[in-house]
Amino acid sequence: MRRLVALTTLLVLVYASAAMANTSTSSWAQADIKLVVARGLLPKSASARPDEPLTQAELATLATGISLKPSTVPLDPYATVTIAQLDARLVRALGLSPVAA
């Protein structure tokens, strides 16, 4: 289980890095994005737009998939996520807040 969580976290970080990259060809992280989407941790729309930023709604879906607890609905589901927001949300979803502090 811990390996799955670590793999998921790594893949999400890869997705975030890919989303921040600006390339005109297919994303270098496309295979990883497809895996995260196949696991149900990101919506299918994420694989169709690999170079676009992660949205608050997608992050909420991801956090719910990792923690298996319902996530709060974001005020603006289409707002983009910063790396700091992604990191903080992943730490909370994985239950690592005490360790991170």
Residue that wins the pLDDT comparison between 88 and 2: 88
Note the pTM of the prediction, 2 decimals: 0.62
Long-range contacts from 95-98, C-beta under 8 angstroms, 24+ separation: 95/67
> Which tens digit of pLDDT belongs to each residue from 3-60?
666 556 656 666 665 555 544 457 777 887 888 888 888 877 777 777 788 889 888 8
Q: What does the alpha-carbon distance between residue 81 and residue 69 come to, in Å, rounded to a whole number?
A: 20
Q: Strand, helix or coil at 55?
A: strand
66 has a pLDDT exceeding 60: yes
